[in-house]
Amino acid sequence: MPSLDALRLFHERRIAVPVDDDALVLDVGSGDKPSWRADVLLDRYTGPEHAAQRSGRAAARVSRPLFDADAADMPFRDGAFDYAICSNVLEHVEDPAAVASELSRVARAGYIEVPEAASAKIVDFPSHVWWCRLDEGPSGPTLVMTAKQAPFFDAEIDAYIERAGVRDQLDAVLNRRFEHRVIQYHWTGSVDIRTEGELDPAFFAAAMRSPGHQRGWEATAAQALTAALTVRARRRRRDRRIPFERVVKPEHHRGEEYLERRIYRPGPPPAPATDQ
C-alpha cells in the first residue's frame, strides 16, 4: 500500500494543477496519459510506430484536441494558454531550451517535470538524452540540462547491473523515494533553463529508436485514481467549447469555429486553385 508521502507526491504531480475552471491548459508531450486538466494536447509522435515512447500503447490518446506538432515550434498564439504542463518530455528532445522558450511564449505559467540526474545515473532509460538537475541560484531555480554522451553514466557499472540482472530491483528501490527521482519545476512568466554540451546526432538518433518506458500496473492504477479524484471537476468542464482562433496562430486557421476532439496537423495552407 502506498505511503502517505507517496500519495501526497502523486497529488502534487498529477492532480493539483493550480488553476481555476476557466483557465485554458495545454499538455505538451501528452502521449497516452494526458493530464486530466488539459484542454488542448500537443504530441509530436502520435502514430503506432512510436508506441515504445508511450508506455507500449499503440497510439497517442486523443481525448481532447491534439496537435501533432513540434514542441520547439508550436502552432499556438502568443499567450494562448494560462498554464502549460510539460512532464517527462525535455529529457527526450533535441533542443530543450527551444521547447522551454515556446512554453514561455504560449503560456503564462506552468509545470515541468524531468528525471533527476543523480538517480538517473544509477538507472536511466536509453531514450533519455539529457542529465537534468536544478540549480538553486540567488536569482531563483534554473533547470540545467547536460547532454548525455551514452545511454549510461558509467559503462562498467551499467554492464555489471545488466550482468547481475538487478536493474528492475534497483529501479524499485529508487521508486520507494520517488520524490528524489524527479525535479518538479513550477514557473511563472518564463522558464529559466541552461544547456551544457552538445548532443551527438548519432546518439540522439539511436535514443529515438530505443525502447521507451513500459506500461505496468502502477500506471494503470494511477490513471484510475486520477479519474476518481477528478471526476467532479471534469464534469463541471465537460461541455466547454474552445474557439479555434483563440488558440491557434492565424496562418493555421482553416475556417473552423471551435476545436474538436481529433488530431490536427498544422501546415502551410493549401495552394489556391488555378484555371487550366
Q: What local confidence, expressed as pLDDT, does residue 101 receive?
A: 98
The C-alpha atoms of residue 101 and residue 189 are separated, in whole angstroms, by 11
* SS3 readout for 152-174: CCCHHHHHHHHHHCCHHHHHHHH
Q: What local confidence, expressed as pLDDT, does residue 61 receive?
A: 84
**Which of 99-108, 223-232, 244-253 comes out lowest in average pLDDT?**
223-232
Average pLDDT of the segment spanning 97-115: 98
Nearest alpha carbon to residue 90 among 98, 79, 80:
98
How far is residue 192 CA from its own chain's centroid? 17
Residue-averaged pLDDT of the chain: 89
Domain positions in the chain are 4-264
Give the single-character DSSP code of 116. Answer: -
Give the DSSP per-residue string, 68-81.
Answer: ---TTS--BPTT-B
Per residue in 157-212, pLDDT (tens digit) is 999 999 999 999 999 999 999 999 999 999 999 999 999 999 999 999 999 988 76
Per residue in 115-169, pLDDT (tens digit) is 999 999 999 999 999 999 999 988 889 999 999 999 999 999 999 999 999 999 9
> Does position 50 have pLDDT exceeding 70, yes or no?
no
